[in-house]
Amino acid sequence: MNATTAFLRGRVGSREPRVGIVLGSGLGGLADAVEESLVVRYADIPGFPDSSVAGHRGELVFGRIGETEVVLQAGRFHLYEGHDPQTVVLPVRTFAELGVETLIVTNAAGGICPTFSPPVLMLIADHINLMWRNPLLGRVGAGESRFPDMSEPYCPSLRTLARRRALEVGVSLEEGVYAGVLGPNYETPAEIRMLSRLGADAVGMSTVPEVIAARARGMRVLGISTITNLASGISPSKLDHTEVLAAGAAVTNSLEAVVRGVLGAP
Ligand code: HPA
């Protein structure tokens, strides 16, 4: 057991999170839905860097949503902050060490599919790694395979469940392919035309490394993007991070309803 896992085991006692949830930009509201929560700040966790981006907290939140023991990552490490891919996936690998079997990843993304009407949620059906980085480079991580299969990166049965729950709670849920880019600048209109031709429905600067690491550990993954804006060249206005955060906040209740539904919580 490494120092990070040993420290967290000591802090969380008998709690055994089964589901890990990664919160994207402006989606921290879900952390407030956790009952009997125990908050551990990154600054206190050995091996964890501090989280710096506006709109991100910097803590792991352990507790329950409904009957399910969960751990939330409130504050993500992004490649564009200069973190190496191993740091970006440190929380996910730590979740795996703590016994988490299912990972729910959320993010903010720009909409490329012309029929998307932001702010709206998009179930991630698949992704394209255009970050030119991979967290699995180098030594094979504990419990991981050298050449993990990626034919079903996002669990088909969890996606079916999410669609059903979204329908039940009256939340619109698009579905599509997420292109992960390095950032941190937003894309040019020409880049968005290229991504569209490559088959992307949405674009963002996160998620792909975490999903690769999770699949390498055999975790089931559900991914939900908040389409906060139409992508560059499709949107009539310039892109602005504050607006991305505001749009994320506008659908945080819908996101929470879908996640609660998937977890079987009322
Ligand atoms: N591009 C990349 N990342 C994003 C966007 C976008 O348009 N919106 C929110 N995150």
In DSSP terms, which residues pair with 226 in a beta bridge?
108, 121
Percent of the chain topping pLDDT 90:
75
Instruction: Please indicate whether residue 127 is annotated as part of the active site.
Output: no
- Residue with token string 């991580």: 141
| CATH number for the domain formed by residue range(s) 3-262 | 3.40.50.1580
The distance from CA 263 to its chain's CA centroid, rounded to whole angstroms, is: 16
Q: What is the mean pLDDT of the chain?
A: 92
**Residue nearest ligand 1's atom 10 by CA:** 109
Of 69, 78, 202, 210, which residue is the catalytic one? 78
In the chain, where the domains are located: 3-262
User: Nearest CA to 259 among 154, 155, 138, 165?
Assistant: 165
pLDDT of residue 50 exceeding 70 = no
Closest ligand 1 atom number to CA of residue 244? 9
Instruction: Please indicate whether residue 206 is annotated as part of the active site.
Output: yes
User: Nearest CA to 90 among 132, 47, 127, 57?
Assistant: 47
What secondary structure does DSSP assign to the chain, as a single string? --HHHHHHHHHHTT----EEEEE-TT-GGGGGG-EEEEEEEGGGSTTPPPP-STT---EEEEEEETTEEEEEEES---GGGT--HHHHTHHHHHHHHTT--EEEEEEEEEE-STT--SSEEEEEEEEEEESS--TT-SSPPTT--SS---SSSS-HHHHHHHHHHHHHHT--EEEEEEEEE--SSPPPHHHHHHHHHHT-SEEESSSHHHHHHHHHTT-EEEEEEEEEEEPTTTSSS---HHHHHHHHHHTHHHHHHHHHHHTT--
pLDDT in tens, 155-178: 999 999 999 999 999 999 999 999
Q: What CA–CA distance (Å, rounded) separates 204 from 89?
A: 16
pLDDT in tens, 69-126: 999 999 899 999 999 999 999 999 999 999 999 999 999 999 999 999 999 999 999 9
pLDDT of residue 54 exceeding 60 = no
- Asked if 224 and 121 count as a contact pair (C-beta separation under 8 A), the reply is yes
CB atoms within 10 A of CB 144: 18
**Residue nearest ligand 1's atom 5 by CA:** 110
pLDDT in tens, 8-33: 999 988 889 999 999 987 677 788 88
CB atoms within 10 A of CB 244: 24
- Asked if 97 and 214 count as a contact pair (C-beta separation under 8 A), the reply is no
Evaluate if pTM is beyond 0.85: yes
Closest ligand 1 atom number to CA of residue 231? 7
pLDDT in tens, 248-264: 888 888 999 999 999 98
- Asked if 176 and 125 count as a contact pair (C-beta separation under 8 A), the reply is yes
User: Distance, CA 238 to ligand 1 centroid (Å)?
Assistant: 12
